[in-house]
Amino acid sequence: MSTFTTTDGTEIHFIDWGTGRPVVFSHGWPLSGEAWADQMRLVGEDGFRAIAHDRRGHGRSGNGWTGHHMDTYADDLAQLLEHLDLHDVVLVGHSTGGGEVTRYLGRHGTGRVSKAVLLGAVPPLMLQTDANPGGLPREVFDAIRDGVETDRAQFYADLAVPFYGANRDGNTVSEGVRRDFWRLSMQAGLKAAYDCIAQFSETDFTEDLKKIDIPVLVAHGDDDQIVPIGAAGLRSAELLKNATLRVYPGAPHGLAGDFKEAFNADLLAFINA
Protein backbone atom coordinates (compact mmCIF):
# COMPACT_ATOMS: atom_id res chain seq x y z
CA MET A 1 0.00 0.00 0.00
CA SER A 2 1.46 3.39 -1.05
CA THR A 3 1.10 6.31 1.34
CA PHE A 4 2.75 9.58 2.23
CA THR A 5 2.25 11.91 5.18
CA THR A 6 1.28 15.56 4.68
CA THR A 7 2.83 18.43 6.59
CA ASP A 8 -0.07 18.37 9.07
CA GLY A 9 0.44 14.66 9.77
CA THR A 10 -2.38 13.22 7.62
CA GLU A 11 -1.60 9.94 5.88
CA ILE A 12 -2.72 9.98 2.24
CA HIS A 13 -3.19 6.69 0.40
CA PHE A 14 -2.58 6.53 -3.34
CA ILE A 15 -2.56 4.00 -6.18
CA ASP A 16 0.40 4.15 -8.58
CA TRP A 17 0.26 1.99 -11.72
CA GLY A 18 2.52 1.77 -14.74
CA THR A 19 5.30 3.95 -16.09
CA GLY A 20 5.56 6.90 -18.41
CA ARG A 21 4.08 10.38 -18.38
CA PRO A 22 1.97 10.76 -15.21
CA VAL A 23 -1.80 11.10 -15.29
CA VAL A 24 -3.08 11.99 -11.81
CA PHE A 25 -6.76 11.48 -10.97
CA SER A 26 -8.84 13.30 -8.31
CA HIS A 27 -12.11 11.65 -7.35
CA GLY A 28 -15.61 12.94 -6.67
CA TRP A 29 -17.52 13.12 -3.39
CA PRO A 30 -17.83 10.93 -1.35
CA LEU A 31 -15.82 8.30 -3.23
CA SER A 32 -12.13 7.36 -3.37
CA GLY A 33 -9.35 6.88 -5.90
CA GLU A 34 -10.85 3.48 -6.73
CA ALA A 35 -13.61 5.28 -8.61
CA TRP A 36 -11.02 5.89 -11.36
CA ALA A 37 -9.93 2.25 -11.71
CA ASP A 38 -11.24 1.83 -15.28
CA GLN A 39 -9.54 4.99 -16.54
CA MET A 40 -6.32 4.20 -14.66
CA ARG A 41 -6.09 0.83 -16.36
CA LEU A 42 -6.94 2.46 -19.69
CA VAL A 43 -4.16 5.04 -19.57
CA GLY A 44 -1.72 2.59 -17.98
CA GLU A 45 -2.12 0.22 -20.89
CA ASP A 46 -1.58 3.15 -23.27
CA GLY A 47 1.87 3.84 -21.84
CA PHE A 48 1.11 6.34 -19.10
CA ARG A 49 1.69 6.24 -15.35
CA ALA A 50 -1.69 6.31 -13.59
CA ILE A 51 -1.94 7.73 -10.06
CA ALA A 52 -5.01 8.30 -7.90
CA HIS A 53 -5.13 9.31 -4.25
CA ASP A 54 -7.90 9.05 -1.67
CA ARG A 55 -8.82 12.53 -0.46
CA ARG A 56 -8.23 13.01 3.25
CA GLY A 57 -11.13 11.50 5.19
CA HIS A 58 -12.11 9.35 2.21
CA GLY A 59 -11.23 5.79 1.23
CA ARG A 60 -8.08 4.57 2.95
CA SER A 61 -6.57 7.96 3.77
CA GLY A 62 -6.33 9.40 7.26
CA ASN A 63 -9.69 10.27 8.75
CA GLY A 64 -8.90 13.22 11.00
CA TRP A 65 -11.19 15.85 12.48
CA THR A 66 -9.81 18.89 10.67
CA GLY A 67 -8.47 19.92 7.27
CA HIS A 68 -11.57 19.23 5.16
CA HIS A 69 -11.22 22.40 3.12
CA MET A 70 -10.71 22.96 -0.60
CA ASP A 71 -7.40 24.75 -0.06
CA THR A 72 -6.16 21.79 2.00
CA TYR A 73 -7.33 19.31 -0.65
CA ALA A 74 -5.33 21.28 -3.23
CA ASP A 75 -2.30 21.38 -0.93
CA ASP A 76 -2.53 17.61 -0.39
CA LEU A 77 -2.52 17.14 -4.17
CA ALA A 78 0.50 19.44 -4.42
CA GLN A 79 2.32 17.40 -1.80
CA LEU A 80 1.51 14.18 -3.69
CA LEU A 81 3.07 15.58 -6.86
CA GLU A 82 6.07 16.76 -4.87
CA HIS A 83 6.41 13.46 -2.98
CA LEU A 84 6.57 11.54 -6.28
CA ASP A 85 8.52 14.37 -8.00
CA LEU A 86 6.10 14.40 -10.93
CA HIS A 87 6.46 16.67 -13.96
CA ASP A 88 4.58 17.15 -17.26
CA VAL A 89 1.49 15.91 -15.41
CA VAL A 90 -2.03 15.56 -16.77
CA LEU A 91 -4.47 16.26 -13.93
CA VAL A 92 -7.94 14.69 -14.22
CA GLY A 93 -10.73 15.60 -11.81
CA HIS A 94 -14.35 14.49 -11.56
CA SER A 95 -16.97 16.53 -9.70
CA THR A 96 -15.41 17.66 -6.40
CA GLY A 97 -12.11 16.35 -7.76
CA GLY A 98 -12.48 18.84 -10.58
CA GLY A 99 -12.69 21.56 -7.96
CA GLU A 100 -9.59 20.15 -6.29
CA VAL A 101 -7.70 20.23 -9.61
CA THR A 102 -8.88 23.77 -10.37
CA ARG A 103 -7.91 25.08 -6.92
CA TYR A 104 -4.53 23.33 -7.19
CA LEU A 105 -3.83 25.09 -10.50
CA GLY A 106 -5.02 28.44 -9.17
CA ARG A 107 -3.09 28.07 -5.90
CA HIS A 108 0.09 26.25 -6.98
CA GLY A 109 0.39 27.12 -10.66
CA THR A 110 1.18 24.96 -13.68
CA GLY A 111 4.89 24.36 -13.20
CA ARG A 112 4.40 20.59 -12.86
CA VAL A 113 1.28 20.30 -15.02
CA SER A 114 0.87 20.43 -18.80
CA LYS A 115 -2.83 19.58 -19.25
CA ALA A 116 -5.98 19.10 -17.21
CA VAL A 117 -9.35 17.40 -17.59
CA LEU A 118 -12.50 18.51 -15.75
CA LEU A 119 -15.27 15.89 -15.91
CA GLY A 120 -18.68 16.84 -14.51
CA ALA A 121 -16.73 19.25 -12.34
CA VAL A 122 -18.17 21.65 -9.75
CA PRO A 123 -16.40 24.89 -10.87
CA PRO A 124 -16.95 27.71 -11.10
CA LEU A 125 -19.62 27.74 -8.34
CA MET A 126 -22.48 25.38 -7.55
CA LEU A 127 -24.36 27.56 -5.06
CA GLN A 128 -26.99 29.99 -6.31
CA THR A 129 -26.12 33.58 -5.43
CA ASP A 130 -27.04 37.00 -6.78
CA ALA A 131 -23.91 36.84 -8.93
CA ASN A 132 -24.56 33.19 -9.87
CA PRO A 133 -28.31 32.91 -10.49
CA GLY A 134 -27.90 29.68 -12.45
CA GLY A 135 -26.59 27.79 -9.42
CA LEU A 136 -28.54 25.50 -7.13
CA PRO A 137 -30.43 26.87 -4.09
CA ARG A 138 -28.87 26.39 -0.65
CA GLU A 139 -31.78 24.13 0.25
CA VAL A 140 -30.41 21.50 -2.14
CA PHE A 141 -27.17 21.29 -0.18
CA ASP A 142 -28.93 21.50 3.17
CA ALA A 143 -30.86 18.39 2.12
CA ILE A 144 -27.57 16.62 1.32
CA ARG A 145 -26.24 17.57 4.76
CA ASP A 146 -29.41 16.27 6.38
CA GLY A 147 -29.18 12.99 4.46
CA VAL A 148 -25.55 12.42 5.42
CA GLU A 149 -26.18 13.31 9.05
CA THR A 150 -29.43 11.38 9.50
CA ASP A 151 -28.90 8.12 7.58
CA ARG A 152 -25.91 8.26 5.29
CA ALA A 153 -26.16 4.59 4.30
CA GLN A 154 -29.64 5.05 2.86
CA PHE A 155 -28.80 8.48 1.48
CA TYR A 156 -25.86 7.13 -0.53
CA ALA A 157 -27.97 4.24 -1.82
CA ASP A 158 -30.61 6.72 -2.97
CA LEU A 159 -28.03 9.14 -4.40
CA ALA A 160 -26.66 6.48 -6.74
CA VAL A 161 -29.93 6.64 -8.71
CA PRO A 162 -29.68 10.24 -10.03
CA PHE A 163 -25.88 10.03 -9.97
CA TYR A 164 -26.02 7.45 -12.77
CA GLY A 165 -29.31 8.62 -14.27
CA ALA A 166 -31.04 5.39 -13.27
CA ASN A 167 -34.28 7.36 -13.00
CA ARG A 168 -34.22 8.09 -16.74
CA ASP A 169 -36.01 6.00 -19.36
CA GLY A 170 -33.64 3.72 -21.21
CA ASN A 171 -30.85 3.93 -18.64
CA THR A 172 -28.93 0.65 -18.40
CA VAL A 173 -26.60 1.21 -15.44
CA SER A 174 -26.29 -2.05 -13.49
CA GLU A 175 -27.26 -2.66 -9.90
CA GLY A 176 -23.65 -3.66 -9.32
CA VAL A 177 -22.36 -0.23 -10.34
CA ARG A 178 -24.83 1.44 -8.01
CA ARG A 179 -23.83 -0.85 -5.16
CA ASP A 180 -20.18 -0.09 -5.79
CA PHE A 181 -20.98 3.63 -5.48
CA TRP A 182 -22.50 2.85 -2.07
CA ARG A 183 -19.46 0.75 -1.08
CA LEU A 184 -16.99 3.51 -1.85
CA SER A 185 -19.19 6.19 -0.30
CA MET A 186 -19.46 4.34 2.99
CA GLN A 187 -15.66 4.36 3.31
CA ALA A 188 -15.70 8.14 3.71
CA GLY A 189 -15.61 9.39 7.27
CA LEU A 190 -18.80 11.06 8.46
CA LYS A 191 -17.08 14.31 9.48
CA ALA A 192 -15.08 14.47 6.25
CA ALA A 193 -18.11 13.77 4.08
CA TYR A 194 -20.24 16.32 5.92
CA ASP A 195 -17.62 19.09 5.86
CA CYS A 196 -16.90 18.50 2.18
CA ILE A 197 -20.48 19.43 1.21
CA ALA A 198 -19.82 23.10 1.94
CA GLN A 199 -16.52 22.89 0.07
CA PHE A 200 -17.92 21.54 -3.19
CA SER A 201 -21.02 23.72 -3.09
CA GLU A 202 -19.81 27.08 -1.76
CA THR A 203 -16.23 27.39 -3.07
CA ASP A 204 -15.97 29.94 -5.86
CA PHE A 205 -13.37 28.85 -8.41
CA THR A 206 -13.88 31.73 -10.84
CA GLU A 207 -10.52 33.38 -10.25
CA ASP A 208 -8.73 30.01 -10.29
CA LEU A 209 -10.17 29.23 -13.72
CA LYS A 210 -9.08 32.61 -15.07
CA LYS A 211 -5.45 31.92 -14.04
CA ILE A 212 -5.18 28.60 -15.87
CA ASP A 213 -3.32 28.87 -19.17
CA ILE A 214 -2.69 25.18 -20.03
CA PRO A 215 -5.03 23.18 -22.30
CA VAL A 216 -8.10 21.92 -20.40
CA LEU A 217 -10.66 19.38 -21.59
CA VAL A 218 -14.05 20.24 -20.08
CA ALA A 219 -16.31 17.18 -20.34
CA HIS A 220 -19.88 17.19 -19.05
CA GLY A 221 -23.14 15.32 -19.54
CA ASP A 222 -26.08 17.53 -20.48
CA ASP A 223 -28.41 15.48 -18.24
CA ASP A 224 -26.22 15.76 -15.15
CA GLN A 225 -28.65 15.88 -12.20
CA ILE A 226 -25.91 16.35 -9.59
CA VAL A 227 -23.79 19.14 -11.14
CA PRO A 228 -26.00 20.73 -13.81
CA ILE A 229 -24.00 21.66 -16.88
CA GLY A 230 -25.27 25.25 -17.29
CA ALA A 231 -23.58 26.81 -14.28
CA ALA A 232 -20.68 24.35 -14.31
CA GLY A 233 -19.09 22.90 -17.45
CA LEU A 234 -20.42 25.49 -19.88
CA ARG A 235 -19.41 28.39 -17.67
CA SER A 236 -15.98 26.90 -16.91
CA ALA A 237 -15.27 26.54 -20.63
CA GLU A 238 -16.04 30.24 -21.05
CA LEU A 239 -13.70 31.30 -18.24
CA LEU A 240 -10.72 29.14 -19.20
CA LYS A 241 -8.13 30.54 -21.61
CA ASN A 242 -7.57 27.29 -23.51
CA ALA A 243 -10.58 25.01 -23.12
CA THR A 244 -11.94 22.21 -25.28
CA LEU A 245 -15.59 21.54 -24.44
CA ARG A 246 -17.07 18.07 -24.89
CA VAL A 247 -20.78 17.66 -24.11
CA TYR A 248 -22.30 14.17 -23.87
CA PRO A 249 -25.99 14.29 -24.86
CA GLY A 250 -28.18 12.53 -22.30
CA ALA A 251 -25.26 11.66 -20.03
CA PRO A 252 -25.62 11.76 -16.22
CA HIS A 253 -23.04 12.74 -13.60
CA GLY A 254 -21.54 9.29 -13.19
CA LEU A 255 -20.57 7.77 -16.52
CA ALA A 256 -21.21 4.11 -17.28
CA GLY A 257 -21.71 2.04 -20.40
CA ASP A 258 -21.61 3.96 -23.68
CA PHE A 259 -21.14 7.29 -21.87
CA LYS A 260 -18.04 5.95 -20.13
CA GLU A 261 -16.65 4.63 -23.40
CA ALA A 262 -17.16 8.02 -25.07
CA PHE A 263 -15.32 9.81 -22.28
CA ASN A 264 -12.52 7.22 -22.25
CA ALA A 265 -11.93 7.80 -25.96
CA ASP A 266 -11.86 11.58 -25.47
CA LEU A 267 -9.52 11.25 -22.49
CA LEU A 268 -7.00 9.16 -24.44
CA ALA A 269 -7.18 11.45 -27.46
CA PHE A 270 -6.63 14.54 -25.30
CA ILE A 271 -3.67 13.25 -23.31
CA ASN A 272 -2.04 11.85 -26.46
CA ALA A 273 -2.51 15.01 -28.52
**What DSSP state is assigned to residue 93?**
E
Residue by residue, DSSP assigns 191-229 as HHHHHHHHHHHH---HHHHHH--S-EEEEEETT-SSS-S
pTM of the full predicted structure? 0.97
Residues 6 or more apart whose Cβ sits within 8 Å of residue 67: 8, 10, 56, 57
Pick from 223, 245, 221, 250: nearest CA to 235: 245
The pLDDT assigned to 62 comes to 97
Pick from 200, 243, 246, 234: nearest CA to 99: 200
The pLDDT assigned to 192 comes to 98
The pLDDT assigned to 268 comes to 98
Average pLDDT, consecutive stretches of 10 residues, N- to C-terminus, the chain (273 residues):
94 97 98 98 98 98 96 98 98 98 98 98 97 96 98 98 97 96 98 98 98 98 98 98 98 95 98 96
* Catalytic status, residue 253: yes
Pairing relationship of beta strands 243-248 and 49-53 according to DSSP bridges: unpaired
CATH code where residue 53 lies: 3.40.50.1820
Report the amino acid identity of residue 155: F
Cα angle: 132, vertex 137, 140; to 5 degrees: 140
* Catalytic status, residue 68: no
- Domain residues for the domain of 41 are 2-272
Phi-psi sector, 47: left (phi>0), alpha (psi -120 to 50), beta: left
Residue in 95, 185, 201, 236 annotated catalytic: 95
* Helix, strand, coil distribution of the chain in percent, nearest 5: 45, 20, 40
The pLDDT assigned to 1 comes to 64
Residue in 13, 185, 224, 236 annotated catalytic: 224
Number of compact structural domains in the chain: 1
* Catalytic status, residue 58: no
The pLDDT assigned to 261 comes to 97
